[in-house]
Amino acid sequence: MTVVHAIVADLMFGSKVAATARAHGIDYRGARSLEGLRNAEGDAALVVVDLEAELPDGDPVEAIEHALRRTPMPRVVAFAGHLLTDRLEAARRAGAHEVLSRGGFSGRLESMMAGVAGIAGSGEERSPGEQ
């Protein structure tokens, strides 16, 4: 089964992400800390990082860096409010495959999960910056 790991600060928005993933047959696993992300079971095809999340043991950019060290490397998508340009730029510098505004992420959520469900199990890895 395809797995998505996610750190999403807002419970309502996290529920939307989880419901969309599950609608595509994806096993959604949310985390509230870096430790939770590190201990999440299963090889994730996608790691979603909310750059506005306040983590008790680090910051969201560290979550991106951790995800990019996994084997096989998952696709890493980060998002934040469009005015948080410093956080969005930090995610780009950290190597997230895709960095979106919250609205952009929300608008692409359905197609993103459909794509993840479609490529799952292909063994395909992406280098940072690849779209």
Which domains occur in the chain, in start order?
A: 3-119 (3.40.50.2300)
Please write the tens of the pLDDT for every residue from 54-113.
999 999 999 999 999 988 899 999 999 999 999 999 999 999 999 999 999 999 999 999
Model pTM above 0.85: yes
How far lies 95's CA from each of 69, 88, 113, 128, in Å? Answer: 11, 11, 20, 5
Gap between the Cα atoms of 65 and 62, Å rounded: 5
